[in-house]
Structures are given as structure tokens and as C-alpha cells.
Amino acid sequence: MAARLLQRSASSSFFLLLLLVAALVGYQVSLVATAQRNAPAASVRVGVILNLGSPVGVRRRVGIQMAVEDYYAANPGSATRVELHFRDSAGDVLAAASAAVDLIKNVQVQAMIGPPTSAATEFVAHIGNHSRVPVLSYSATSPSLSPAQTPFFVRTAANDSFQAVPVAAVLHAFRWRAAAVVYEDSPYGSGILPALADALQGIGAKVMDRTAVPIDATDDRLDALLYRLKAMPTRVFVVHMLYNVAGRFFRRAKTLGMMSDDYIWVATDGVSTFMERFSPEEVDAMQGVVSLRPYVQETDAVKNFSARFKARLSRDYPAVDDVREPTVLRFWAYDTAWALAAAAEAAGVAGPAFQTPQTSTPLTDLDRLGVSATGTALLKAVLNTTFDGLAGKFRLVDGQPPPAYEIVNVVGKGTKTVWFWTPESNISQDLDGIRGNGLKQIVWPGKPSHSRAPNGWAVAPNGRQLQIAVPVKHGFNQFVDVSGDSKRITGLHGELPKADAVVGNVTITSSRMEEVDFTMPFTESGWSMVVAVQKETNASMWIFLQPLTTSLWLASLVFFCFTGFVVWVIEHRINEEFRGTPWQQFGLIFYFAFSTLVFSHKEKLESNLSRFVVIVWVFVVLILTSSYTASLTSMLTVQKLQPTVTDVRELLRRGDYIGYQEGTFIVPLLQKMGFEGRMRSYSTVDQYADAMSKGSANGGVAAIFDEIPYLKLFLSRYCDGYTMVGPIYKTDGFGFVFPRGSPMVADVSRAILTLAEGEKMAQIEKKWFGDPGACQSQGSAVGSSNLSFRSFGGLFLITGVVSSAMLLIYLATFFYRERNELRAAEAVAGGSGPGSSSLQRLRAWARHYDQKDLKSPTFKRWSDESMRNGSEYASRTPRWGDESPCNVGAAADAGRIPEEAVGGMSPFSISTSSERNAAVSPAAGDTPAPEFDNSFDRAAEVAGTSQPR
């Protein structure tokens, strides 16, 4: 008992000891946690450079302060805390650079939020890159600033070069193929030009002009620039400038009448992003402008921030009475400060630590600034930071955020959204591209909302008359006929600096396209030759073979033989007409089928199978003979016209002269072909006809070479006696000519295609160039074509299938019905004669097949009649099978039926019949052989019950 009590006491003491240790450990952990909570957060110094003397700078300061406060309110346990150190740039580049040096040298900031302008940010970025201090900018959008060149520069705004593709997409949506670019003469304005030129080139549009607008340009200077733009044929202008220059520019454009019909203004985000900063007069001048704007979704967080921002600004800066709705730049500034606070926490950076480089050379002022020890880690953390900000998803790709734009239209006192653009879905009705690329109605300058989009070019800039040149032609006025003082040209070289277009029959060639622009061709392309035709008088003695092709002749022969063979196989055992000597039966196979050509076949068919075969075959023969007769008649009666020359080589071989149209571009080509020295020039269709009627030997020509439209015009007037032959040498046809880069080319080409796709173009050609098909005699120039096997393939297929099917049915019936007799014949033939067993079986079957089928109604009827009449040969005309020696003694043996007469002769009975003929060949009047005595009686006894051998 004492032992138990001692054991329990020890256990209780050990348990109490464990509780005491746990309490001590918990207390220690609590002390550590309390110490950590009470420990001050590590300070991260961030410099902010703003134009603090402007209302914009004040608003940006408030937004950045609110971002840092909101971050730590949402993350109260942060181990780091951002300290903001503001410096005033006073709107000057050097002041901003000086502020950056001060922040690094004296404050030792670990990061900076850069100045508002791109020019100032460029200086600060290089300073930060030298000291390895990350510089974040929410407003430096110029493409000249690149994170690739200054790795410690981070752009948290949309790069201006990203706008080039959506601007080009807008032009492409309306099929505008030319534009003039107007940009602000500053690093901000010029930075977009390379990307914009590439984007427009990608859609096939041309940059007609690039006009730089000085920031401090006077109204007179702006007017001079606008007058130059007004004189251009293009009416599409891409504007890239900030609001302070854009407002004055559009006011002067409206004063000069350039915000009216047919003018198109597409602006970058420098206009729509700062709409709240334009005066009412400036907004009124910009009616109808289409502009881009970085897309920001109006979420609850945005609305909450906007309300708090207004209250904070009114409380802290009551003197700043210009309280407006926050712009996207304000959201970018807020998100930038939040991202920097989050990155500092993620990197866990401690206090500032700058290291002075150790070098033997004297240190410059920049070298004395030192290198930040925390800059690299902080930069990496910033680039990897992601969160849902006010401006959308904060995510950096290659040191800058991916773009997303909305396309807006300036209408009334503000803007309305008409499209969205993202790199993934391009232009669409929504940001995700789900609803497609439909477009809301756009209000264009000077037009109501329901009007169609302008063409994008002016027929006559500044109201002057167009200078239209017309090619000189002494003939073929159906293409173009000009009267009065219109300018007429003999060539294209050197004319289009003086003309706006060339209208007429101008051929599109590669050499001309190097100097001018052509529209789509409005005529057929290529050039060829026209020659005279003559009547064909010599007819071949073998013309009767021409109606059918060789393949059809051979196919007909094969089916004639096959049909005759099928009919013979079916009728041989049951029809006396299809029996006889081998040569007689072989000839019958051909004779019967060929006699169906003229339907002169006289053989009476006994089997329904063979009758069906002949019915189908006669139908085929009827169609075949009718077609042959019609084709041969056409060949013999229709008069054919053949060209006198069919090939260029024949002209060269004969040394004939050829003709061409005066001024044509094909002269060098004809000379290269070998006609140099044998060419004659003509100007009209009448001269063409006269020259070819004379011929090459009488001062004329053997052929005329010209372009297809001219040859068609000639044939429409002289369709009798002439035809177009030879190959067609390809060209691009006729087109309208414009100076290089003319914006009218695309729209005129579109109008030509619209005419070509309908009936209008055909009606125009018929009216002015005649109807080549109106000459009825032209149809006789082509003879009747011969008939091919393909034309009758279906008929031959039908008769072949029917004949084969009937043959198979007959053979199947024969082998099934005669199966016992065939086995008996095989047994008799077994072991006798040479050859294998299979060959002996086939011989036995053939011998059995060669015998008459006395079970058939035909021979049963014949046997009964013979018995009633007393003689087989008393009441019918002798047949091929009757030619046997028994017929010689017919008068003496009238009452006898020899076995040879019953069996007949066939290709399968050559050996047996010859033996029998040798045994029964007595002379006329001799006494019959003993073996034939009482043969008729024996035959009568077994008639109908036994089968002859």
C-alpha cells in the first residue's frame, strides 16, 4: 500500500512539473510576440517628385498619401513602413533632376516615384539607374523611355507606343488607306511615330505627312500648319498631343472649317484622358473626334476612393477648388504607391544603406551618391507584385503593364464609348471580345449621328478643279473620247506631278507601277492575236469514223461481242437457231449482236433471260446509232471555218507581217519574239480589217496583235471572217492612274469591284463595245465535236450489268437443275483421257452443256410433232444442224431419227460427231446399216423419257 501511494505521488509531481514548464514556455512566447508587436516597423524611404505648385501636383500628392495609408490600414501587421518624402520639380527638367539627387544624397531614399513629365523622368531614370534606386513612373508614357535601357526604371502607366495598333485598327475598320500624323513637338509627341508608322503599314495604310506642332505655337503658326493639312487629298488625321496643345489646335481647326463634313480626326489618349481639363469652347470644337482612353472599370473601390478623395482634398487643401472626377493617371499614381508598399513588405528590406564605390579615379558628384544595397531586391519585388488596383489588375510585363483601351467619341459635353481594344481580342464591343466587333453609331465632325462614315479623302482639296489627263488615241474612242481643252498625254513619265489622275485605256504594267498607283483593272487582262478564217473544203475519206472517239469504238465492239456471247450461252441448249458447226455458232455470236444495229436479227429467242438482255441491248443500240447519225450529219452538212494561222511559230516560219496598235506597250515584246522588221502600225478597227483582208503578201498583215479589250471590240464589229487564236499573254488590264500614295486608289478600286460583281459592268460593255455574241455566223466556226465513251458510260454500264446478271442466273440454274446428270457425266469421264481430274470434269460439263435440253418446252414440242408426222424433216426447212450424212438417205430412211440429228453439232462435239459420220456414210440408195434398223421404233419407245448421248 505504501508503495502504491509513493508511486501516485511521483506521478502527480511529474504532471505538475510539465504544467509548470508549459506555462513558462507560453509566457516566454507571449513576451516575444508582445515585443514584436511593440517593435517599430522598418522604415523604407520613398521619394516623390511632383509639381507641387500646380493643382495637378496637389491632387497627385493626396492620392499617393491615401494609397500608403490604405495599404497599412489593410495590412496592420506589416514589418515595413513606407516613408514618403516629397520634392517639388516646379515643372522643370533640371529641377526634377536636382530633386532626385537631393533625395538620394541627403535622404538616402530606397525608391522614387518619378516626376510627371517624360522629359524629366528620363533624367531621373538615369540617376536612379546609376545609384540602383528603382524609379517608378505613372505618367512618363513616352516610348523613348525603355526599361531595357534603364533597368531600374519601372513604368506603371501604358506606353504610348501601345496606342499605335488600336489607332491603326480604327482606320482599318473604316478602310481608310492614308492618313496624316499631327504630333506635339516634344519627346512625348515624337516617341510614338515609329510604332505608328509600322502599325499603319501593317494594315496597308500610308502616312501621307508628319506635322510637328510646337508646344508654344501661336495661332498664326497653327493656322499655317492647318492650311497645309487642308491642301492634302487625305482627310484622315491622327493627332498625338497633350491637352494643353490639343485644345488650341482644335479651336483653330474649327475656325478654318476643318471640323466639318468629310474630315476625320482620330486622337490618342492625350485628348480623352484629360477631357475634364478642356474648356467648354474647346470641347465644342472637338465634336466628332474619335479618341483612345485607357480602360478603367467603375468598381465599388473606385467609387469609394473618389468620394474619400474629394473629402480629403477639400479638407487639406481648401484653396484647390478645382475638384474634378479622378482621371486614370490618378488611379495609376494610387496603384504605384500601393505596389511600392507591397513590394517593400515582400522584399523585407531594412533601412537605407548606400555603398560608395572604391576606385582609384577621382569620384564625380554622381559617384559620391553611392549605390543602394536594397535597390535590386526592391526592384525584383516590384516587378513580381500583383494585386487588384483601382485601374485594374496590377501586373507588369517587361517592366510595364499590358494595355487595354476604350475607343470614345466626343459628343456633347463629354464622350461616349463605341469600342474596346485589347491585344487578345483586338476591336470588340466588350473588353473580353465575346460580343464581336460591332460598332456603335459614331458622330462624325459636321454630320448627324445617323450618317455614314466619310470616304477619308477629298476629290478636290481646297475646292480646286482636278487635273485629269487622258491618253492620246487616234482610234478606239469607245474607251475614252475627250473634247475641248482637256489635257491629253502621250505617256505617263513626268505627267503626274502635274495631274491628279489619268483616266482612259491605260494598261497596268510593272514598270508603270514603279512610278504611279493603279486601281483594280476594269477590263479583261492579257493580249493575243486575231487572224482571218477560211472555209474548210477538204473532207477526209475516213470522216465516218470521226463521230465516235477511239475509246467509244472499242467499247462498242466489246459490248457487241459480249452481248452476242451471252445470248448464245442462254439459247444454245434450247434453241435450234443457235446450234450448228463451230464456225457457224462462232459467226452467229457476232452476227446476232451486230444485226441489232439495223434491227435485222431474225433468230427467234426461246428464253426470257436472253429476251431481257436483247431488250436492253436494243435500247442502247438505238441511242448509240441515233447519236452517231446526228453527229455524222452535222460533220457533213455544217460548214466549218478554220483560222488561216493557228500559232505564232507558223507566222515566224512563213515570214508573214503582223500588225499592232499605234502606241501599244507590246511592241518590244513582239520584237523580242522575232517579228522585228516585219511589223506594221494601225490605229482603228477598220484599218485592222483592211490589213488582214489584203494579207501579208499584198501590203497587209497575216495577224493583228493587241490587248484583249481592243480585240473584243474589233470582233464585235467584224465578227464574220476573223477569230482570236493563239495563247493569251497575261497583263493586268486597264486601270485608272493616280499619283503614288493617293488615298483615292482604294475607294475607286472598291467602286470598280462593286460594278464588276453585278450586272452593271456587263451592261456598260455591251453598250459601248458591242455584243460579240450577236454575230450568229460565229457559231459555225467551231465544228461538231465527236462523241466519247464518257457520254455513253451509263448506257454501257446498264447493259453490262443486265447481261452479266442474266448470264449468272442462267449458269446457276443450269448447274442446279443438271446436277445429277453432271455427276453422271463426271463418273463416265473419270479416268479416261489425258489431263488432270479438274480438266476432265470441265470437259464432261462442256459435253453435257453441248447437248440439247429435251426437257425444255421447245424440244418437247418438236419431239411430239415429229412423232405425229412420222418424220423429223417432213414438215420443216432444213437447218444448219441438218447437215449430217443421215440426210442423204432421207427418202429411204424417212421413219428414222438419227442420233446426230438430235444432238446437232457444236464446238464441244467435234470428236464424237466425226466418229459417227464415219460410221454412217452409205451412198444414196444403199441399204441402211444394221445398227440403224428399227431405230425409229426404239426412239419412239424412249421419246421424252431418255436423253441422247
Co-location of 669 and 656 in the same domain: yes
Per-residue confidence (pLDDT) for residue 548, from 0 to 100 = 87
Mean pLDDT of 654-669: 89
The pLDDT of residue 305 is above 80: yes
Per-residue confidence (pLDDT) for residue 349, from 0 to 100 = 84
Using the CB atoms, write b or e for 202-220: b if 16+ within 10 Å.
Answer: eeebbbbbebbbeeebeee
Beta bridge partners of 129: none
Co-location of 557 and 596 in the same domain: yes
Amino acid residing at 153: F
Amino acid residing at 71: Y
Would you say residue 494 lies in a domain? no
- Grid coordinates in use for 724? 482570236
- Band (905; pLDDT cuts 50, 70, 90): very low
Per-residue confidence (pLDDT) for residue 943, from 0 to 100 = 37
Rounded to whole angstroms, the Cα distance separating 540 from 211 reads: 80
667 contacts: CB under 8 Å, gap ≥ 6: 660, 679
Co-location of 529 and 606 in the same domain: no
For residue 128, give the 3-state DSSP assignment: helix
Would you say residue 319 lies in a domain? no
Is 701 in contact with 692 (CB distance < 8 Å)?
yes
The residue assigned the cell 558628384 is 365
Would you say residue 799 lies in a domain? no
Mean pLDDT of 364-368: 68
Mean pLDDT of 136-148: 88
Rounded to whole angstroms, the Cα distance separating 293 from 275 reads: 10
Rounded to whole angstroms, the Cα distance separating 852 from 619 reads: 31
Co-location of 614 and 728 in the same domain: no
- Band (898; pLDDT cuts 50, 70, 90): very low
Nearest to 638, CA basis, from 735, 779, 508: 779
- Grid coordinates in use for 223? 493656322
Rounded to whole angstroms, the Cα distance separating 563 from 592 reads: 9
Co-location of 654 and 761 in the same domain: yes
Rounded to whole angstroms, the Cα distance separating 455 from 263 reads: 9
- Band (848; pLDDT cuts 50, 70, 90): confident
Is 740 in contact with 512 (CB distance < 8 Å)?
no
Co-location of 664 and 771 in the same domain: yes
The residue assigned the cell 524629366 is 120
Parallel/antiparallel/unpaired status of strands 722-729 and 527-535: antiparallel
- Band (747; pLDDT cuts 50, 70, 90): confident
Rounded to whole angstroms, the Cα distance separating 550 from 546 reads: 9
End of a domain among 747, 775, 803?
A: 775
Co-location of 374 and 341 in the same domain: yes
Co-location of 687 and 570 in the same domain: no
Kindly report the number of other CB atoms within 10 A of residue 638's CB atom: 12
Total count of domains within the chain: 3
End of a domain among 637, 666, 694?
A: 637
DSSP 792: G
Co-location of 667 and 687 in the same domain: yes
Higher pLDDT, 484 or 694: 694
Q: Which of 5-19, 117-131, 316-330, 475-489 has the lowest mean pLDDT?
A: 5-19
Amino acid residing at 781: A
End of a domain among 587, 618, 637?
A: 637
Would you say residue 693 lies in a domain? yes
pLDDT digits (tens, 9 = 90+) for 315-355: 998 888 665 667 889 999 999 999 999 999 999 887 777 77
Rounded to whole angstroms, the Cα distance separating 239 from 249 reads: 10
DSSP 362: P
Co-location of 622 and 765 in the same domain: no
The pLDDT of residue 664 is above 50: yes
pLDDT digits (tens, 9 = 90+) for 721-740: 888 888 888 877 888 898 88
Would you say residue 149 lies in a domain? yes
Would you say residue 94 lies in a domain? yes
**CATH number of the domain enclosing 754:** 3.40.190.10
Co-location of 658 and 770 in the same domain: yes
Helix ranges, 638-759 (H): 648-654, 667-670, 685-694, 708-717, 744-757
The pLDDT of residue 185 is above 60: yes
Amino acid residing at 654: R
Q: Which structural domain, as residue segments, surrounds residue 685?
A: 507-537+641-775
Is 504 in contact with 737 (CB distance < 8 Å)?
no
Would you say residue 337 lies in a domain? yes
Per-residue confidence (pLDDT) for residue 217, from 0 to 100 = 93
Enter the pTM of the model. Answer: 0.59
Co-location of 675 and 596 in the same domain: no
Distances (CA, A) of 670 to 569, 683, 694: 69, 17, 21
Rounded to whole angstroms, the Cα distance separating 116 from 64 reads: 13
Per-residue confidence (pLDDT) for residue 113, from 0 to 100 = 96
Distances (CA, A) of 30 to 23, 38, 42: 10, 12, 22
**CATH number of the domain enclosing 134:** 3.40.50.2300
Kindly report the number of other CB atoms within 10 A of residue 447's CB atom: 17
Would you say residue 879 lies in a domain? no
